Structure 1
């Protein structure tokens, strides 16, 4: 059962502002999320991520600006917005006393489903989220990952056009996180739009089509300070680097010369007497071309290579760089 198609932007925010007494939480947020995509919302604590999600989910009113979800204004038509969305927070909100199946059937009835359709929908969701074997067990016996998957399943009893995932994998082990990631990918393949807030930058890198970074360096409220695909944000930080480790320390000098010729600049060495690093700037040959040229020369010179790798900036580095730049700009 796919979600209804969206004709316009799934989420559209313009100049959104929110205050809590003397504290400005949002200072003019602009954001557009296209249908059928994942937008990762990143930012330090206090930047306004959860406040933005609460406004988009009609749980809080903005003080200014405009926000539309699934084409509906969150202030003027909150009931229509709520009929188009699902929200999963940091903690599972299902009933722990009853079974997973009973939770799903209860929510199906709350959505006015009746008769065989209730059981059929519960079966579909249990299978989709890998919970068939635990269907009859009380939810209090579920692991954290299972509870989170059930919570997500409950939100999909009636497939929404837009789903908000507010730090959905907090506290989960790597295996459970991976399982939830695959569930999110399935949602998007089915046409659902996802707004994901997370503290795990590898999670945003894995899932997000686009990323928006919220920050509040001046204390005037969070706003979007950077936006783009993960690749675009990494590329904006700078070039790639090539790390070379030779097997024998006495070969580091000739290897360094070869790497310098291939990359057109002087590599740097550190404490490791067998390792050298070459920064590949945006103006140079692509890192893959430099890597291939260096490898050919190293092989011809008979230099034993223990490790040779092309490394691109990570989202962690992008995020830290953005935060440092914001602080310096104040």
Structure 2
């Protein structure tokens, strides 16, 4: 049985002219299988939100072509909208209404009868851990509760494809992980998710496939593990009590091991490209007054991959609406 492609785009783009030159999305090709998570990762101005708005039919691309949920986004926009949902960066719920009233309102707007909308609202509030707050006005909700209600509203009629634009910006770690669990459960039920994020940990935790964007273009793509493997070998980290000790250690280790760097003020990092690297590092420290308080070795992180592959592009201008 052939695998269904839920999102496919070929060389789509949308440019905005600014004083500093053209910004936006210059060239993006993607393909996401049904029931998977595709993450667009990059700094502000990389083109992430433009990609989401174009694929969800909120704007028209200048070039390229794309299909979402089996329909052309340009010639079959209505059919696409009937099969997708979008959770934007700003909450779409009404602060003055209760959680139940918000969901019933969204259900009615999607063509549901009042009784069906109330039943579905109750089911979703329970699923999203909001049943105890069903009669509370949303203005009293925490950021995490509001975000969960936003996602619940998108699920009144289960979408084939869900677009989530920076879903956990501003949330505390606990609320972020709660939302991750919800998104994972939606994927298990068959929904395809395209999310944009600046959080490397988020893409690593959720995505089956990651596209790194920089200045509107694809820099690299692949599974999180594949992107990490592009960076290099495992990394040894030696943490010292003070920055002065770390400086001494860096100097000593650098005389015997190539490529040692300071990862932060107290941490020396070395590529473990040979089996004896750790032993050589510890041997080099015998002659200086610097003993590590912590030694660890692990694979490069998605953070390492992002900085290596993008050149740490954090100075891109914001995208225009």
TM-score normalised by the chain length of structure 1: 0.78
**Structure-2 residue corresponding to 1:137:** 136
Shift in Å, 1:116: 3.5
Give unpaired runs (5+ residues) of structure 1. 1-5, 217-221, 299-303
Q: 2:272 aligns with which of 252, 271, 280?
A: 280
1:10 to 6, 12, 20: 6
Q: How far apart are residue 158 of structure 1 and its match? A: 0.2
Task: Report deviation, 1:19.
Answer: 2.2
Aligned to 1:317: 304
1:301 maps to none
Q: Which residue of 2 aligns with 1:39?
A: 38
CA distance in 2, matches of 1:245, 1:147: 39
- 1:278, distance to aligned residue in structure 2 (A): 5.0
In the alignment, what sits opposite 2:157? 158
In the aligned structure 2, how far is the partner of 1:158 from the partner of 1:232? 35
Where does structure 1 differ by over 6 angstroms across 4 or more consecutive aligned residues?
A: none
Distance in 1 between the 2:29 and 2:73 partners? 15
Partner of residue 170, structure 1: 169
Q: How does 1:192-211 map to 2 (within 5 A)?
A: 192-211=191-210
Report the CA distance shift for 1:157/1:306 in structure 2 as closer, same or farther (over 3 A): same
CA contact under 8 A between 1:267 and 1:276: conserved in structure 2? no
Check the 8 A contact 2:306/2:312 in 1, yes or no: no
Cα pair 1:214 1:226 within 8 Å, conserved: yes
- 1:219 aligns to what? none
Q: What is the match of residue 191 of structure 1?
A: 190
Whether 1:229 aligns to 2:228 is no
Give the secondary-structure state (helix, strand or coil) at the position aligned to 2:5. Answer: coil
Q: CA deviation at 1:139?
A: 0.7
Paired position in structure 2 for 1:146: 145
SS of corresponding position for 1:118: helix
How far off is 1:237 after superposition?
0.3
Q: Secondary structure at the match of 2:159?
A: coil
1:34-74 per-residue CA deviation (whole Å, 9 max, x = no partner) reads 11111110112212111111000101001111111111111
Specify every segment of 5 or more residues in structure 2 that has no aligned partner in the other structure, as ranges.
284-290, 315-321
Q: CA deviation at 1:7?
A: 5.7
Distance 1:200 1:325, change over 3 A: closer
**Contact 1:91–1:148 (CA under 8 A) maintained in structure 2:** no
* 1:176 CA displacement: 1.1
Q: What is the alpha-carbon distance in structure 2 between the residues aligned to residue 312 and residue 37 of structure 1?
A: 24
Count of aligned residue pairs for this structure pair: 291
Question: Residue 117 of structure 1 corresponds to which residue in structure 2?
Answer: 116
Q: SS at the partner of 1:10?
A: strand
Are the aligned partners of 1:91 and 1:168 in contact in 2 as well (CA < 8 Å)? no
Task: Tell me how large the CA RMSD over aligned residues is.
Answer: 3.3
Q: CA deviation at 1:326?
A: 8.3
Note the C-alpha offset of 1:26: 2.1
Give the distance between the partners of 1:47 and 1:266, measured in 2 at CA: 34
